[in-house]
Chain A
Amino acid sequence: MTLYEPVIGLEVHAEMLTRSKMFCSCAVVDNTEAPPNTATCPVCLGMPGVLPTLNAEAVEMGLRVGLALGCTIPPFNQFARKNYFYPDLPRGYQISQYEYPLAINGFLDIDLPDGGTRRIRVRRAHLEEDTGKLTHTGDGASLVDLNRAGVPLLEIVSEPDLRSAEEAEAYARQLRSILQYLGVNHGDMSRGVLRFEANVSVRPAGSDELRTRTEIKNLNSIRGMVRAIQKEVERQIHLWESGQGVRQATLGWDDDRGQLIIQRTKESASDYRYFPEPDLPLLQISPEHVAEVRQGLPELPAARRDRFCRDLGLNRADAAILTAEQAVADYYEAALAAGGAPQPVANFLIGEIFRLMNADALGRDAIGTIKVTPEALAELLRLAQEGAINLNTAKRVLDILYAEGGDPARIVAERGLAQVTDEDAIRAAVDSVLAENPAEVEAYLAGSEKVAKFLMGQVMRALRGKGQPQAVQEALDEALAARRS
């Protein structure tokens, strides 16, 4: 049997976080919350005789993304009309860019599961306007909300360099992270601000032919995208294996049912009859302007990850987790600034705080909203470091901080959680545990190591989890040794 290799390219549509729309001064509103048709005007409604005017901030944001992806910024931009009829497009054409886009020839280095990286080429990034939102009523009609019509979008197109659904996922996650760092998109896919389309084909592994590809549209979550690509790769392999071959097609993805829906065979590009947008003059971008935008770029996730490894001694996996979301990296650095030590803070953040947030179905980018402040986390770990509490108690205090907020030292004092280091108290606990468990003591003396752990647990329990582990172990060993002789 032939081994197949997927060939995948991604188009990412990212709404730019401008205040107003791309070509008019209507507000950009949250599409999932705003009442329908409350942010429209003659321009975005497609009334005759109106004149679109380009939003300067949309251009700036697009340039930031282009430069962050290592793109070349051509000296001039032209807008073009992409013509098609659909009820979510009031003018009958979408203003986009065709021959002269904002940014070309960039790349994104993605992290692979094996720890390596792979360079995925970015063909282009161009500005365009979003369409309206359609709701099918089920009675043969659709309702159209044009609040979203004219919202600035940046379409970022990769070369077909991705070789698996996992690589597509890594690309999507890292790109999303970059967009967040640049402050151009908040990455909340449930609100539709980031959408994907995937071009998929398969070929015999090792060959460099490009076979017929299909395009999967309407991918509104990274998880959905991964599943859709996996399904499509399987479907195409089956088609080649059974001798039917793959036909060019546009597919939809039903995330609830986990099914691909074949929508239609693809129109060729010329069917959109692109032509230069006569209402918008050329946009020229000087090398000085490009240099200025480049100068203003923030530290990006990969650079921050590398700095965390280099300067803080974190391993690459931890550093990647901590820098994937800007809010998490900011939180982490705030905890370090408050005196936290790099590794313990990283461990507690990744191991404990993420666990608590997961249980509440909170996304990691919501870390700024939890009740544990970075300062409280640093203080908690300082208490553990100094031996005022043991690690188990630290986790208990964290649970309290997470639920109620507050000051770790005060919680420890008020709830009597300070570590028990008092030798008399520990010895008394050991003696009573041994007295209550004569059979286990017998077993231990007969050579059962397992029982030692049980007894240790019982003593810690008697101390309500607050015993200083080393002191408890020593006291227990001593008492057992005394019984042996």
Chain B
Amino acid sequence: MTISHEQVEHIADLAKLDLTEEEIATFADQLSAILASVEQLREVDTSAVPPTASVLPLSNVLRPDQVVASLPTAEALANAPDAAADQFRVPAILDESP
């Protein structure tokens, strides 16, 4: 399986990455190689194996519905590159809500 130039562009776009033509070509090759490597798993007969939903040896890890004190606002905002009126301030993104 190969990853096309367009697919790399699309993934880069979703990841908000700006790639040069050269990088796109490099990643297309590398991603194709990685997929080819993973493809080898197809050789294993898994017809009798149920799909794995989780690899953790745990289930039902829950916590009771109890409130614990939150961070002070100043601390919550401490790492923000920009803040105003006790809020994170970011460049406006219009007409692109998810």
Contact = CB atoms under 8 A, between A and B. Distances in A.
Given A137-B92, A282-B60, 18 more contacts: A20-B68, A25-B66, A27-B70, A41-B71, A53-B62, A53-B63, A54-B62, A55-B65, A56-B64, A87-B90, A140-B91, A142-B90, A143-B88, A145-B87, A218-B97, A281-B59, A282-B56, A282-B59
Interface size band for A: 35 or more
A144 to B, nearest CB: 4
Interface string B3-46: 00000000000111000000000000000000000000000000
Interface stretch (A1-9, A30-38, A438-446): A30-38
A54 B14 CA distance: 28
Contacts of B92: 136-137, 140-142
Interface string B69-98: 011010011000010111111111111111
B61 interface: yes
Contacts of A433: none
B53 to A, nearest CB: 5
A19 B59 contact: no
A271 B56 CA distance: 26
Given A78-B53, A100-B53, A281-B60, A142 B89 contact: yes
A466 interface: no
Interface string A112-156: 000000000000000000000001110011111110000000000
A276 interface: yes
Interface residues of B, number: 38
A273 B14 contact: yes
B70 A41 contact: yes
A86 interface: yes
A86 B93 contact: yes
B58 interface: yes
Contacts of B71: 40-42, 45
